[in-house]
């Protein structure tokens, strides 16, 4: 693996930690957002962007003083990039990750990691064989409410987990599915609501509840003129004996909320639109949750606008990825973590098609 000289300076060795040079592959909606996030990330510098759309790359080149490439392979061959962020339509993720890994460049991949669990397995193997770090974006895992909940669950403070539910009741204007060259809404791009919009809360549910054993589901395309589902309902059996459900849609005008509810032996907890909404505990006050409620964290919510995103989650994800590179460890959200929502949503799709309970692979 090629490591730039900038990576030789490690924290704790009395040397100033140098910058990781980041290249962006794909400069559409989330690509432009990554550029904004990178301005807030210590020890990272956006050095290059790549996209066949020259209007997009030259605007970013001017704004951020980085190099612009039409073909990401030229950016990888340039030799001045330590980490690439893959912000392409999902069906293009694998090819870009493989090219970066073969060039010895670490990779952070936007959600979904890939388009199937099988392809994700190949992606993980390609990065392992090349000795590069693979990070999978699921930025809400870094939200303060989710960190606090995970900690409370791991300490056993909530008692036995009994049920977990997710409600992603969003609206997308039909025009949304026409943008980006028409990749949205295609099955080959995992363009249904479960993977495109609800994947964040689905990932949080399986992460906090401890993994899903099996699912039954109904997925339908009720409003939008798209190939994949715009609405999905699923029942879940978790590995720990708890049960749960998922309701997800992009047809609910004007877009209501994204909500995660955890029903545990000692407490009921609700996270709504990325913040702790309320909790009730049988065993007295929970200081961490009271602190979160007191902060009244205001966040933008993407219930109707796909670009209403808070930078904090992606910033935390970059900070972890960069520390992982410097410390030569796996990022907290590695390829195996990125595969989990893919495997779950793949099982939900198959359960709906086959009308039966399906084990999650
Ligand atoms: N984490 C989040 O909250 C979040 C939010 C939105 C999108 N996403 C994910 O980000 C990815 C991109 O979504 P988007 O909304 O930005 O899509 P988009 O259509 O707005 O942008 C995709 C960009 O990729 C470019 N592109 C296509 N082929 C290319 C190639 N070979 N080389 C370089 N660039 C190429 C296109 O020109 C376009 O600019 C998807 O996987 C999506 O699921 C994540």
Q: Is 342's C-beta closer than 6 angstroms to any atom of ligand 1?
A: no
* Ligand 1 pocket test target in 23, 31, 85, 86 with most atoms within 8 Å of CB: 31
pLDDT tens readout for residues 64-115: 999 999 999 999 999 999 999 999 999 999 999 999 999 999 999 999 999 9
The alpha carbon of 175 and the centre of ligand 1 are apart by a number of angstroms equal to 17
All CATH 3.30.360.10 domain ranges of the chain, comma separated, are: 140-308+341-359
CATH tag for 140-308+341-359 (out of 3.30.360.10, 1.10.1740.10, 1.10.3720.10, 3.30.1130.10): 3.30.360.10
DSSP H stretches of helix in the chain: 29-38, 54-64, 72-78, 93-102, 117-130, 144-154, 193-196, 199-209, 287-295, 311-327, 335-354
Q: Is 331's C-beta closer than 6 angstroms to any atom of ligand 1?
A: no
Q: Is 52's C-beta closer than 6 angstroms to any atom of ligand 1?
A: yes
All CATH 3.40.50.720 domain ranges of the chain, comma separated, are: 5-136
DSSP string across 232-262: EEEEEEETTS-EEEEEEESBSTT--EEEEEE
The alpha carbon of 51 and the centre of ligand 1 are apart by a number of angstroms equal to 10
Q: Is 90's C-beta closer than 6 angstroms to any atom of ligand 1?
A: yes
**Neighbouring C-alpha atoms within 13 Å toward the C-beta of 93:** 32
Q: Please provide the CATH number assigned to the domain covering 5-136.
A: 3.40.50.720
- For ligand 1, atom 4, name the residue with the nearest CA: 30
**In terms of Cα–Cα distance, which of 193, 189, 208, 72 is closest to 147?**
208
Q: Is the pTM of this model over 0.75?
A: yes
The alpha carbon of 1 and the centre of ligand 1 are apart by a number of angstroms equal to 27
Q: Is 156's C-beta closer than 6 angstroms to any atom of ligand 1?
A: no
Ligand 1 atom nearest 184 alpha carbon: 19
pLDDT tens, position by position, for the chain (361 residues)? 333 434 433 333 333 458 999 999 999 999 999 999 999 999 999 999 999 999 999 999 999 999 999 999 999 999 999 999 999 999 999 999 999 999 999 999 999 999 999 999 999 999 999 999 999 999 999 999 999 999 999 999 999 999 999 999 999 999 999 998 889 999 999 999 999 999 999 999 999 999 999 999 999 999 999 999 999 999 999 999 999 999 999 999 999 999 999 999 999 999 999 999 999 999 999 999 999 999 865 565 667 677 778 899 999 999 999 999 999 999 999 999 999 999 999 999 999 999 999 999 9
Task: Check residue 305 and give its pLDDT.
Answer: 73
* Ligand 1 pocket test target in 23, 24, 29, 274 with most atoms within 8 Å of CB: 29
């Amino acid at each position: 693996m090629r490591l730039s000289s900038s990576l030789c300076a490690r924290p704790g060795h009395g040397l100033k930690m140098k910058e990781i040079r980041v290249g962006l592959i794909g400069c559409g909606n989330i690509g432009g957002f990554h550029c904004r996030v990178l301005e807030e990330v210590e020890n990272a510098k956006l050095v290059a962007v790549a996209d066949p759309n020259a209007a997009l790359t030259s605007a970013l080149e001017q704004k951020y003083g980085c190099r612009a490439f039409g073909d990401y392979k030229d950016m990888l061959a340039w030799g001045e990039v330590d980490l690439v962020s893959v912000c392409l339509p999902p069906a293009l993720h694998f090819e870009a990750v493989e090219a970066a890994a073969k060039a010895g460049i670490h990779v952070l991949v936007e959600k979904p990691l890939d388009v199937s669990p099988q392809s994700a397995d190949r992606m993980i193997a390609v990065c392992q064989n090349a000795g590069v770090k693979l990070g999978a974006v699921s930025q809400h895992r870094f939200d303060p409410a989710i960190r606090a909940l995970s900690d409370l669950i791991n300490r056993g403070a909530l008692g036995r987990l009994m049920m977990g539910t997710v409600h992603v009741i969003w609206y997308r204007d039909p025009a949304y599915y026409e943008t980006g060259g028409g990749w949205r809404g295609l099955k080959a791009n995992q363009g249904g609501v479960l993977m495109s919009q609800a994947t964040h809360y689905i990932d949080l549910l399986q992460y906090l509840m401890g993994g899903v054993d099996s699912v039954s589901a109904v997925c339908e395309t009720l409003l939008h003129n798209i190939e994949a589902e715009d609405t999905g309902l699923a029942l879940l059996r978790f590995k720990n004996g708890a049960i749960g459900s998922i309701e997800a849609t992009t047809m609910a005008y004007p877009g209501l909320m994204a909500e995660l509810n955890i029903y545990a032996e000692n407490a009921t907890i609700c996270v709504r639109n990325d913040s702790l909404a309320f909790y009730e505990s049988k065993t007295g006050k929970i200081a961490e949750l009271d602190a979160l409620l007191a902060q009244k964290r205001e966040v933008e919510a993407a219930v109707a606008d796909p670009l209403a995103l808070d930078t904090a989650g992606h910033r935390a994800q970059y900070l972890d990825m960069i520390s992982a590179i410097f410390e030569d460890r796996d990022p907290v959200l590695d390829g195996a973590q990125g595969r989990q929502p893919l495997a779950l949503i793949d099982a939900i799709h198959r359960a709906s098609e086959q009308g039966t309970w399906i084990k999650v692979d």
